[in-house]
Amino acid sequence: MEMATVATWTFMNEVPIPQDVAQLLVEGEQPYAAFKTMRDSAIFTSKRLIVRDAQGLTGKKVEIYSLPYSAINMWSTENAGRLDFNAEVELWTRAGHIKISLGKQVDVRRIDQLIAHCILNHH
């Protein structure tokens, strides 16, 4: 099942939900969990995965990706082997294929549970 990868993100570790995420949420949308990424953060909400990507030297320009759970057709998780540092999550979406690498501090089963909870409870 070959599909173009439209995005690759790395989740380093779980962090407190950023206060300023509230301005991105619609009525009734709740933030569940947040992860530090290479350049900003990713937030699982009750309706979508939001990934913020600070760009440029000052980090003032921020690109925000919103992936509604309804756009995800399938996902897979691969846990880290002994020599492998990162576990990996792959999402197949209407927009294309998304890869998420997980840092050593991120539990792949926690991510699996979050995705399953969010997708299966909101379709």
pTM of the model: 0.87
Using an 8 Å Cβ cutoff, are 22 and 50 in contact? no
**Tens digit of pLDDT for each residue in 48-76?**
999 998 887 777 888 899 999 999 999 99
Quote the pLDDT of residue 27. 95
Q: Which CATH class is domain 5-15+30-121?
A: mainly beta
14 CB-contact burial (10 Å; exposed 0-12 / middle 13-18 / buried 19+): middle
Using an 8 Å Cβ cutoff, are 80 and 61 in contact? no
Categorize the per-residue pLDDT at 24 as very low, low, confident or very high, splitting at 50, 70 and 90. very high
